[in-house]
Amino acid sequence: MTGSLHDHLDLVRAPAVLSVVGDTLAGAAAAGHTVTPRRALLPLASACLYAGGMALNDYADRELDAVERPERPIPSGRISEGRALRVAVGLTAAGVGLAAAGGGARALAVAVPLAASVWTYDTVAKEHAVGPVVMAACRGLDVLLGAGVGHLRAALPAAAGMAVHTAGVTFVSRGEVHGTTSSLAAGVAAATAVGGAVVGVGALRRGRGAGPGRATRVATAVAGVVAAGAYLATALPRQVDAAITPSAGNAFAATKAGIRAMLPLQAAWAARGGSLASVGVLAGVEVAGRLLRRAGRGRAEMSET
């Protein structure tokens, strides 16, 4: 059984894959890299590694999904177990290869531990207490992939910001079936508020000072503040809902909102790094994501976990 194209897109959570393409852009902006045709391969590498992880996730969870999510491609019979595993392996290999092609040995040195972290999460760590930490590490490494070895320190704030948000999304997603807790959801909401404020203020400081390029700096600062505001407006209300009423439905809604909030958060960090072009690219990706969700009626958009 090979499955249709739609089945494969469902397997890899196609709309959610767009949530990672800005990681390397944020990392590159922090490191001072300009976007070149070669470096444009790095977001594609991230997308492949993410999609491979989603396929592996469904393979690893096939028995649990047969009970809790029977509509997923494997338990529903649309894609075989072996096919899902082959997709996971192929996409992971493609992601590592694209990273090497896009960033050379410096990117490859980050891509290999990133791929290993993804597989560790899906096959070992997911059900343990350290699961959200491992998932957060995956996201942080994805940001560092854009910076590359030799520029990691400059990208650490962006990596940390994305990692903290990812940890929050992952913690809340654990309540998608049986509900979460008010204290956990409230903690995640607080972290979101602080994270949005930090990156917004950081981006705003970009516009200070006179001299050449001031107009571009101001535009980048404004774009960063707008992106930080969009991040808060996307993630925070659903997280507050989950804190007030920690039902499974609200946890699921908060998880989806958290995934959607990845793009504006990446854009805010890219603006903080001074890359107005990356902010523009991510605005286009956001539009594409909305169109994909509308076309698929949200069927393929599910949790990172």
- The answer to whether residue 2 sits within a structural domain is no
Return the higher-pLDDT residue of 283 and 1: 283
Q: Are 56 and 139 in the same domain?
A: yes
The per-residue pLDDT for range 32-57, each reduced to its tens digit, is 998 889 999 999 999 999 999 999 99
Domains of the chain: total: 2
Q: Are 144 and 187 in the same domain?
A: no
Distance between CA 267 and CA 216 in Å, rounded?
A: 16
In this prediction, residue 305 has a pLDDT band, given cuts at 50, 70 and 90, of low
Neighbour tally for 133: CB within 10 Å: 17
The fraction of the chain above a pLDDT of 90, given in percent, is: 79
Long-range contact pairs involving 254-257 (C-beta distance under 8 Å, separation at least 24):
254/172, 254/180, 254/185, 254/188, 255/169, 255/172, 255/173, 255/176, 255/303, 255/304, 256/301, 256/302, 256/303
Q: What CATH number is given to the structural domain containing 164?
A: 1.10.357.140
pLDDT at residue 208 in the model = 74
Q: Are 129 and 26 in the same domain?
A: yes
Last residue of a domain, one of 109, 141, 174: 174
Q: Are 97 and 125 in the same domain?
A: yes
| pLDDT (mean) for 273-282 | 94
- The answer to whether residue 290 sits within a structural domain is no
| pLDDT (mean) for 231-260 | 96
Q: Are 185 and 147 in the same domain?
A: no
Three-class SS of residue 23? Answer: helix
- The answer to whether residue 12 sits within a structural domain is yes
Single-letter code of the amino acid located at 154: A
Q: Are 21 and 168 in the same domain?
A: yes
- The answer to whether residue 293 sits within a structural domain is no
Going by the DSSP 8-state scheme, the letter that residue 35 receives in this structure is P
Q: Are 21 and 148 in the same domain?
A: yes
Last residue of a domain, one of 174, 199, 230: 174
Mean pLDDT of the chain: 92
Q: Are 99 and 192 in the same domain?
A: no
Q: Are 125 and 203 in the same domain?
A: no
| pTM for the model | 0.92
Last residue of a domain, one of 174, 198, 228: 174
Q: Are 207 and 170 in the same domain?
A: no
Select from 164, 199, 175, 209 the least CA-distant residue to 30: 199
- The answer to whether residue 87 sits within a structural domain is yes
Q: Are 238 and 140 in the same domain?
A: no
Three-class SS of residue 67? Answer: helix
pLDDT at 181 over 90: yes
pLDDT at residue 182 in the model = 96
- The answer to whether residue 170 sits within a structural domain is yes
Q: Are 18 and 164 in the same domain?
A: yes
The per-residue pLDDT for range 200-213, each reduced to its tens digit, is 999 998 877 655 57
Residue identified by tokens 């509308």 is: 294
Print the domain residue range for 15. 7-174
